[in-house]
Every structure is written in structure tokens, then in C-alpha cells.
Chain A
Amino acid sequence: MRASDLKPIVALTAMLAALPLAVRMNNYYVLLLTWILYYSTLVTAWNVIGGLAGQLDLAAASYIGLGAYTMGTLLTRLDVTPWVGIPLGGLVAAGFAALVGYPTFRFGLKEAWYALATISSVVVLQKLFLVWEEIGGPEERYLPARYGELYYLRFRGYAPYYYILLAVLVMVLLLNVKIRRSKTGYYLLAIRENEEAAEILGIDVRKYKLRALLIYAFVTGCIGGIFALISGYLHPHHFDTWTSLQVAILGIVGGAGVGSIYSLPATTFIIYSISELLRSTLGGWIPGIHLIFYGVILTVVVLLKPEGLSETYERLYGRIRAALLRRRAGGG
């Protein structure tokens, strides 16, 4: 990894680490920031399959739910610490991804068909956990309220989760940068651009798609475990198709796989904030307005900037930089 790759990550981390202090640890704002980071990590992980490999994967909520149930069940039944439960949840999610992904890639399911296959996995798992009384069932299963103990990773406020997610986001960003600069990264891009051409250049398309899927599913499963700790309970509605769609929409709008990876957390930050603002102000008057907002944003971006917003940010950043340099030069 090059020093120039690390600089923006360090800058971003410092900025994000200071944010809860900037809102004076106000519980509502910290919770809002926590959800923004939660979606940022999900979208950044999605970049591996959706951005680099170009597969419209809508199974995020399957991996989140499996990660949540694995971590939560081990914690409530066997008193296994989330430190172990979270990565195990990642493995279960990756196992499930292999189960769905292998035949899907084997029979060449692509584009809309791949999207349908993956989002239906969310619905199937939700129903399955609803009727599977031993592990799931229609009642919420609460996690132990052992607050403030590192072994249980349960906290009364949201700030600790915010910082845990920040650490995860940094890891996922590093993972993306590393993959992007490796043989695997170039191979995934080639597959995204043209599978047939990629094959005759020596790329085992199925193997590399599966690799991308497993990495993505593992990370998303781990994030699912953290999600359960934040929400404090397990329920089949954690297999939520809306989460899947939101991750993909944020990824598409943010321009996953095009330009800078930092476009994804930035887009999540902007869109989630606006949608939350709409919900909290107009939500009582027009319920669901934040959902309409997602639809409108997606439509507008796909029509006007089909490659996503990453280039727009870069141009904006360049302009701001130039203006600042000019001002400094003029003032000096």
C-alpha cells in the first residue's frame, strides 16, 4: 500500500472521530451518525461485488441477518462473546453466499436475474427465520443487558458503537484500496467490463466473482453482528429488503467502482442526512417521504450522471482547492 493511499484514510478518520464531539455527544445526533457510518461500511463493502465486479447484488440483508442471528444466538444461548460471534457471523454469511453464488455463477445468472435471485434470498431467509422457532420465531429475542462490559460489547449510549463502526469502516476502506491495486482488483474490473473478453485473457470468471462475493458477504455478516448489538434484539425483520435496496442505491448513486472509493461514504453521508431531515420534518405530514426521496435521487442521478457522483465530487474538490490556493496566493 502506498503512502498516498493512506493519507485520505487518516484525514477521513480524524474528521469522523471528531464528529460526535462536534455535536456534543447529543444522543440523537450520535445515533444518526452511527446509522450513517453503518450504511457507509455496508456500501463500501458492497463496492467489492457491486462496484469492482459489477454484479448487482441485493443480498446485503441476508448477510446482515445471518451475521446478527449467529452473533446473537451464540451470545444469548452459549454466552459466547461478540468478539468471537461477529467473525463467526461473517463466516456463516460467506457460507450462505457460496451456497447461492456458486450455482448462480455456474449457470451464468447476470444483471437483473442476479439481482432478483439475491433479493429473493432475503425474503426466503426472513420467512425461514419466522417459522424456525428454535432460533428465530416471531418474538423479539433480546440480547443480555450487560452494559459497559467489554466481553458483551453492550453500551447504553451510541458513541461506543459509532467508534466501533468507524474502525470497521477504516478496515473496509483499506481492504478496498488493497483489492483495487491487486491482480484480483484488475480481474474484477475486467469481468465487470466484459466477461467474454476477460475469459480469453486468462481470467477464471466464476472463481473471481465468487471470491468477490465471499469477501463482501463476510464483511457484511460481521457488520450484521454489530447491527444486532446496536439494536439490542434479534427479529426476522432484520432480513430487510429495504436495507438491501438502500445499499445498492447508495452504491449506484455514489458511483461504486468508478473513481474514488471515498465517494461512497460521502454519498451516504449526504443522502442519509437529507432523507433523515425529510423524515423528521415532513414525515408526520407525508409518511414515507424519505423513501420517495431515494427514488427521486436514484432517478435523477441515473438520468443525469449514470456513472454516479464520484467524478462530481472530484471536480468540486479540485475547484475548492484551486479557490483556496488562489485566495492564499492573493492574500499573501
Chain B
Amino acid sequence: MTEAEALLRVRRVTKRFGGIVALDRVDVDVYEGEILGMIGPNGAGKTTLFNVVTGYYPPDSGRIIFRGEDITGRPPHEIAKLGISRTFQVVKPFLGLTVEDAVRVGAYNRLSDEAEVERRVREILEFMGLDRLRDRLCRDLNIVQIKQTAIARALATDPKLLLLDEAAAGLNPGEVDDLIELLRRVNREMGVTLWVVEHVMRFVMGISDRIVVLHYGEKIAEGPPEQVAHDPKVVEAYLGAEVVI
């Protein structure tokens, strides 16, 4: 694939916190329609990269290009308007809102007509299988339902690209399989490109078309899952342990 086709281009992005280099000239391309996985040991800079791409931190240097437009340093709400949304590693639920209202907040991103907003909310709730929880306060949900609601409200914004930060953490194997199934449908049926950060190998190996590996703020490997899993640099980064699929 040529560079011009990439939906999102991260170019030589560097981010420092005091003396620590969290991201060191990182290049990542995300292609339209794919599911890109990103792994790396704790502190590798995965969440930092998400925060830079979605406008929570400005990078110290480097560029972020989305659909040909330079979005470096733009605030998150503008980035959402352009078509990128995300979930958070530390879930940030709207505890005092109902599931339906949380999704509605996202739906207003592109729609202003109340009837259209209503329709969008219903579609998303049905797609996510959350319709029977619609009137439940987020405060009263379990962790799986909270994570589903976080994905639902992000999808309601109608993104082209969705960044998922450890969506599978804390789920049991059966729930992980359900999540993979759901995200595949998001990817295929809704046409949303996915970029997922994950520690759960079962998840990231099972869902990704390609995988990027970060280590100490540097990209050390990139490619199809099976190739990356046996890459000597990756194996070494995970303390010599063979990456378990």
C-alpha cells in the first residue's frame, strides 16, 4: 500500500515528560478499513501515543495527518468532529447518566435534528446489544457493560477511526471472544477503522490485521501477527519470554 492511502499518518512524533522520552520519533500508518493492533510492555508509550493522536497532549515534535489534513495539536473536540474517537484505559464513564443518554451525547457530534439523534441512538444501542439497559444509570452497570457503553458512545459520534485502549482488560475469555466478534462487526458493517492497544494477547492476536510494537517509546516491530510474535526484538522486549498466543 502506498503512503497516500493511509487514513492516519503519524510521522516522527516525539513526546517528552521532563527527562523521560515517552515517544521517540514514532511513525505509524493506519490504513482505511483495517484493524491495527499495538502492543508493548508497560510504559512503552502506547497510551501516550493515543493521547497525542486524539489531542490530549500536543507532541513536542512530529506531525499527525488524518485524511490528508494536518491535525497536530488540535483539541480533542475538533478531532472528534473530523472523525476520530476513542475509549480510555481507565474508563471514564458518565456515572450519573443513563446508557441511552451517554450514547445520545455522542450522537450529537454529527446530528442536530432530534429525530435523527433519536434514530442514531436506537441503532447504536441495538447494534451493541444494550437496548435492554437503555434506562439504567451507568453507575449501576458492571464493568463489561460500562466498557460496552464507552464503545457505544464513541461509535455514536460516527467515527472513521476508533482507538480502543485496553478494551479487553478485565474480561474473561468468553467475554474477550464476544468483544472480538463485536469489533469485527464494527469494522466490517459500520466501516470503522480500528486501532487497538492491548495487553491481552488472545485478543490482539485474534483481531489484528497488522501489529505495531512499541518499546521504550520506540517502534521496534511492525507486521502481521504471526511475524511480530516471533520477531527476536519483540521476544526480547517481553523479557525473553515467547509471546504466548
Contact = CB atoms under 8 A, between A and B. Distances in A.
Partners in one complex: yes
Contacts of A189: 94, 96-97, 101, 105
The range of chain B's interface size is 20 to 34
A200 B91 CA distance: 13
A186 B54 contact: no
Interface string A153-190: 00000000000000000000000000000010011011
Interface string B130-142: 0000000000000
B215 to A, nearest CB: 27
A202 B108 contact: yes
B213 interface: no
A183 B102 CA distance: 12
A274 interface: no
B86 A200 contact: yes
Interface of B: 54-56, 75-77, 79-81, 85-86, 88, 92-97, 101-102, 104-106, 108-110, 112, 150, 153-154, 156-157
7 contacts: A190-B97, A193-B94, A196-B88, A199-B56, A199-B75, A200-B54, A200-B85
Contact of A198 (B85, B96, B101, B105): B105
A265 B96 CA distance: 22
Interface of A: 183, 186-187, 189-190, 192-194, 196-205, 257-258
Contacts of A257: 96
Given A186-B101, A187-B105, A190-B105, A201 B92 contact: no
B45 to A, nearest CB: 19
A187 B108 contact: yes
B106 A201 contact: yes
A223 to B, nearest CB: 27
A186 B105 contact: yes
Contact of A205 (B54, B77, B156, B157): B77
Contact of A258 (B76, B88, B96): B96
